[in-house]
Chain A
């Protein structure tokens, strides 16, 4: 068994294979030099200087004590028909089963300007480098992208005492794509009250500066002075090593409803990189970049590889995001119910619980606020689990 990618999804795949009864050898190949670690704290506690790296490492289950870790090693090519993968150290591994778990990398802005002073947040090294720059006195920070990670980084920077933090996005509201206008407005107000500035409605056209960035030029001509820029404009799937196998690699690796790749019973994909249909919804394959997905996919894929033949994969997506002193907690698929968004409880100006509906049917619930509201959202989880498939 070869697992390509040794982060959360790769680790969980190995553990779940053991739990499903796979006793054969397992090799995990991972580009990063570290054992698998937890990424969410990178934009929160690690950036804030509140968590040391040692506290981020996952504690592997005892069942994977005998797996072989090939860390600091990349998979560079694969021949699925021959069941082999090539590594950047020149070696070739053959396998009986292959798990694709190579995840994502940050998308970069391609507009003109210097590179120095521009950061992304995906790895431990990224978070360390950005923290060093944010903590320089008087730093002016521009965050490009008002999504998940952009909003978290902006909140953390304000918490660190950075006086000037501006979030730029061509869209009119933060996180409006996945969450819609109601929560977009609520988030905008909360961030502004806590000192984050926004430049919304115009994207980035370029960067100013000679050796290092000094300003961000927007599409409408505005120039925002900047010492540090954070690019959080989405991600790209790490699938180049699968080229040449006739696979659909547009936006991740396409799988069937059992997470199998290319119609092969011995190849599965797990985690952020997998684009899978969810039997709970409409059958359209999607990637889901949420923390719960590596574990959910690994559990299902392990059963598929060990021949347990489970029912089609139908996870209930869930994500959270911690920003300033509040949390967003989501269950289900709010993006599929954006046309019909209703307050279920509370008040958008304070703590609020919001329901997302598709043709009158509840498909997602999102809480914004403190622990009691988040806990109230959890009470809708059972209802979401019981909903029939959208195609039914």
Chain B
């Protein structure tokens, strides 16, 4: 699974961090960082993260 975040859209809400803490995190300045090739076992978490992104900036490929 490949995760793509449109960083032009991302506004650092952090909702994805609550849904999928193994994939997304906010750094100490409150900016988003993420793993772009997480384990396929995390697909439910990542789908949920995509749902709760207020900017709809998260896409799952493959």
- Measured CB to CB, the residues of A under 8 A from B are 12, 15, 38, 40, 55, 58-59, 61, 291-292, 295, 318, 320, 322, 329, 370-375, 378, 381
The docked-state distance in angstroms from the alpha carbon of A378 to that of B17 is 10
The docked-state distance in angstroms from the alpha carbon of A12 to that of B11 is 22
Q: Of all chain A residues, which has the CB nearest B50?
A: A59
Per DSSP, chain A at the interface is helix
Our pick among B18, B30, B47 for the contact of A381 (Cβ within 8 Å) is B18
- Measured CB to CB, the residues of B under 8 A from A are 9, 11-15, 17-18, 26, 28-31, 47, 50-52, 54, 56, 59
The docked-state distance in angstroms from the alpha carbon of A15 to that of B54 is 17
Tell me whether B13 and A320 are in contact (CB under 8 A): yes
Tell me whether A292 and B12 are in contact (CB under 8 A): no
Tell me the minimal C-beta distance from A187 to chain B in angstroms.
19
Known pairs A55-B9, A292-B15. 8 more at Cβ < 8 A? A12-B51, A38-B56, A55-B56, A322-B11, A372-B28, A374-B12, A374-B13, A378-B17
Tell me whether B30 and A59 are in contact (CB under 8 A): no
Count the A-B residue pairs with Cβ separation under 8 angstroms: how many? 45
Tell me whether A320 and B29 are in contact (CB under 8 A): no
Tell me the minimal C-beta distance from A361 to chain B in angstroms.
22
The docked-state distance in angstroms from the alpha carbon of A291 to that of B55 is 11
Tell me whether A371 and B17 are in contact (CB under 8 A): no
Tell me the minimal C-beta distance from B50 to chain A in angstroms.
8
The docked-state distance in angstroms from the alpha carbon of A320 to that of B12 is 12
- Chain B residues lying within 8 Å of A320, measured Cβ to Cβ, are 13, 54
Tell me whether B29 and A372 are in contact (CB under 8 A): yes
- Chain B residues lying within 8 Å of A374, measured Cβ to Cβ, are 12-14, 30
List, sorted by A's number, 21 A–B pairs whose CB atoms are closer than 8 Å.
A38-B54, A38-B56, A40-B54, A55-B9, A58-B56, A59-B50, A59-B56, A59-B59, A291-B54, A292-B52, A322-B11, A329-B13, A370-B30, A371-B12, A371-B29, A371-B30, A372-B30, A374-B14, A375-B12, A375-B26, A375-B29
Tell me the minimal C-beta distance from A304 to chain B in angstroms.
18
Given the interface contacts A59-B56, A295-B52, does A378 sit within 8 Å of B26 by beta carbon? yes
- Chain B residues lying within 8 Å of A12, measured Cβ to Cβ, are 51
- Chain B residues lying within 8 Å of A371, measured Cβ to Cβ, are 12, 29-31
The docked-state distance in angstroms from the alpha carbon of A54 to that of B54 is 15
Tell me the minimal C-beta distance from B25 to chain A in angstroms.
10
Tell me whether A375 and B51 are in contact (CB under 8 A): no
Q: Of all chain A residues, which has the CB nearest B13?
A: A320
Q: Of all chain B residues, which has the CB nearest A378?
A: B14
